[in-house]
Amino acid sequence: MKRLEYRGYDSSGIALLENGKLNIYKKKGKVTDLESELKEKKLPATIGIGHTRWATHGEPNDVNAHPHYSNNRRLSIIHNGIIENYAAIKQNLIGKGHQFLSDTDTEVLIHFIEDVQKETGASLEAAVRLALKEVVGAYAIVVMSVDHPGQLIAARKGSPLVIGVGENEYFLASDATPIVEYTKDVVYLDDYEVAVISEGKLSIQHLESTTETIPYIQKLEMELETIEKGGYDHFMIKEIFEQPRSIADSMRGRLRADDAHLQLGGLNDYLDKLAQSDRVVIVGCGTSWHAGLVAEYLFEELARINVEVEYASEFRYRNPVIKENDIVIAISQSGETADTLAAIELAKSKGATIFGVCNVVGSSIARATHAGAYTHAGPEIGVASTKAFTAQVTVLTLMAIALAKRKGTISEETYRQLLIELETIPAKVEKVFENAAKIKEIAFIFTYARNFIYLGRGFNFPVALEGALKLKEISYIHAEGYPAAEMKHGPIALIDEDMPVVFLATKDSSYEKIVSNIQEVKARKGRVIAIVTEGDTLIPGMVDFVIEVPDTHEILTPLVSVIPLQLLSYYIAVMRGRNVDQPRNLAKSVTVE
């Protein structure tokens, strides 16, 4: 459960079958709070379920924490997702005498399963199936019964569920992170599948069928040390410093600059279709959306193809114009983002070809798309994405270059130059870390700021957005990112001597313009932190603080310019006493709408 806390940490609980009784223990707060509560108790159980929560229905407290009992307290459930029609089901059950203790939709579901079993006389497995056919929404559930002490029943729709297969033991989790410590053999449940673990055997069937499916066992590639802190104070700083390796891993086997080799296996069969398409639509949420904005610049600059970048949550609720010749690229770190999955299904229904960019092997998005590319960034435990962003941008850059080469929209010389430059990026990111102490000093000065503005142009505009998001997420300081030229159209009214302004001011085609924007801020007494290209002699004389990054090709700038912003956010948040790995109200994988 501790390994799953990055998915939610408002409250936690466990249900155990102990000496013929079904006992639930739960507590508001983190898993350590529950652990402290139970440390003096003897818990003689060999089967149990547990949950760490990100609140949807009902505030975080002891009562709303999972697991939940059924009305007769003979069943218990844990649940990720949202049951949308819970209110109508709840009213019906109240009419039958059911009493509810919590405000959650999850408690309604286990009461409903009990009611179905009582009304139909069906087995527990059949009752779970019948109940799930009536509910609307998303779920990954595990049900346990005092009457079936050797059985667990699990099911999923729209929310991930993984089964670890050990020696005479099974593990169920919302991702593989906690399982790898015990076994590397896993089964990923598909939507509408029901799994029954009973008497040491695993049985999987489709919700609408009684025909048993042969489990497809996959081997996990991750190693245990990748999900440990490894001596760092936080996962976030560990993952920031892992970026030279994660960027290199994103290119490994795909890029060899010495013989001008570039090949993405997942793209091969669709490269011609992509080259013949008139439009690419990119969908994502949060940091993945920012990576998509960088990709918009990349694809349009290199491959000369029209690109639109959409928030997945808005795209799915519009009636977007999607044609069969369109390519939709879906970006997600976890591969489980509910809004992005829904956007994929909408685009597929309109005949578009869907390409996925995600980090987690076997994830829902990886299986829902026609083709794709894994970022190979390794597990990212910190809730605020860092290495996921640079890995996504790396893979999207490879895609844009490969497409441009196929279309003939870049010269052979430019193609080779870009491959050579890409191979140097890990070393250049490593060089940025030499400024960590200086960035920490700057962070100390601005620890007590209440607002920040981030400004950039061109390829650095999405980086400004990402920098502002990082600061908001983990320090709780209000921050906004803007295109630098838009500042004078409104945000300049906010500038005074108390307003820190971070400029992405590397030497590129917009350099002279960004210099003018800096002067506009300084004329209004703003305090400027500038991210500049190594060796810049002009901007350091104009601003309050300078952070240098190595010179690189303009289209690759985001891969190095984002690093100081990640470090700045981290150090400010730590100095403000924030929990940077588990910031309030957030969860790593947003698997609900």
Give the pLDDT confidence of 520-559 residue by residue, as tens digits: 999 999 999 999 999 999 999 999 999 999 999 999 999 9
The answer to whether 425 and 411 are in contact (CB under 8 A) is no
As given in the structure block, the two tokens for residue 348 are 């597929």
Q: CA-CA-CA-CA torsion for 464, 569, 563, 302, nearest 10 degrees?
A: -20
The per-residue pLDDT for 200 is 81
User: What angle in degrees, to the nearest 10, is found between the helix axes of 387-407 and 287-298?
Assistant: 20
Closest CA to 233 of 577, 464, 593, 553: 577
Q: 231: buried, middle or exposed (CB in 10 Å: 19+, 13-18, 0-12)? A: exposed
Other C-beta atoms within 10 Å of 537: how many?
7
With a CB cutoff of 8 Å and minimum separation 6, the contacts of 314 are: none
Which tokens belong to 581?
A: 């790995």
Give CA–CA dist 363/537, Å, rounded.
48
Tell me, what DSSP letter sits at residue 351? T
Whether the bond between 67 and the residue before it is cis, its omega within 30 degrees of 0, is yes
**588 labelled catalytic:** yes
The rounded distance, in Å, linking the Cα atoms of 482 and 485 is 8
Instruction: Beginning with the edge strand found earlier in the chain, give each strand of the sheet holding 279-284 in spatial order.
Output: 306-311, 279-284, 327-332, 353-358, 371-374
| pLDDT score at 151 | 93
Buried/exposed 149-169: b ≥16 CB within 10 Å, e otherwise: eebbbbbbbbbbbbbbbeeee
Phi, psi for residue 209 in degrees, rounded to 5? -140, 155
Q: What is the pTM of this model?
A: 0.81
User: How many Cβ atoms sit within 10 Å of the Cβ of residue 55?
Assistant: 17
Residue 363 φ/ψ, nearest 5 degrees: -70, 170
Identify the pLDDT of residue 336.
86
* 399 CB-near residues (< 8 Å, 6+ apart): 264, 267, 295, 299, 329, 373
Give the Cα-Cα-Cα angle 580, 586, 592 (nearest 5 degrees): 150
Whole-number Å distance between alpha carbons of 337 and 311: 12
User: Residue 369, SS3?
Assistant: coil
Encoding tokens for residue 437?
Answer: 């102490």
Rounded-to-integer distance, Cα 488 and Cα 371, Å:
43
Q: Which domains does the chain have, with CATH numbers?
A: 2-220 (3.60.20.10), 235-575 (3.40.50.10490)
The pLDDT of residue 175: 86
pLDDT per position in the chain (593 positions), as tens? Answer: 888 887 788 899 999 999 889 999 999 998 999 999 998 888 888 899 999 988 887 888 999 999 999 999 999 999 998 899 999 999 999 999 999 999 999 999 999 999 999 999 999 999 999 999 999 988 999 999 999 998 999 999 988 899 999 988 999 998 888 898 899 999 999 899 999 999 889 999 999 887 888 888 888 877 766 777 778 899 999 999 999 999 999 999 999 999 999 988 888 888 888 999 999 999 999 999 999 999 999 999 999 999 999 999 999 888 899 999 999 999 998 888 889 999 999 999 999 999 999 988 878 888 889 999 999 998 888 889 999 999 999 999 999 999 999 999 999 999 999 999 999 999 999 999 999 999 999 999 999 999 999 999 999 999 999 999 999 999 999 999 999 988 888 888 888 888 999 999 999 998 999 999 999 999 999 999 999 999 999 999 999 999 999 999 999 999 999 999 999 999 999 999 999 988 887 766 665 55
Three-state secondary structure along 202-269?
EEEEECCCCCEECCCCEECCCCHHHHCCCCCCCHHHHHHHCHHHHHHHHHCCCEEHHHCEECCHHHHH
Q: Which helix (H) or strand (E) holds 93?
A: helix 86-95
Q: Where would I find the beta strands (DSSP E) of 54-208?
A: 68-69, 75-83, 137-145, 151-157, 162-165, 170-173, 185-188, 193-198, 201-206
Phi first, then psi, for residue 560 (nearest 5°) are -105, -35
- Please state the φ and ψ torsions of residue 583, each to the nearest 5 degrees: -65, 150
d(CA 320, CA 373): 25
Alpha helix (H) residue ranges in 338-386: 338-349, 364-368
- CA pair distance 188, 461, nearest whole angstrom: 38
Spatial separation of the C-alpha atoms in residues 120 and 126, rounded to whole Å: 9
User: Which of 90, 184, 238, 588 is labelled catalytic?
Assistant: 588
In degrees, rounded to 5, the angle at the alpha carbon of residue 566 between the alpha carbons of residues 563 and 570 is 140
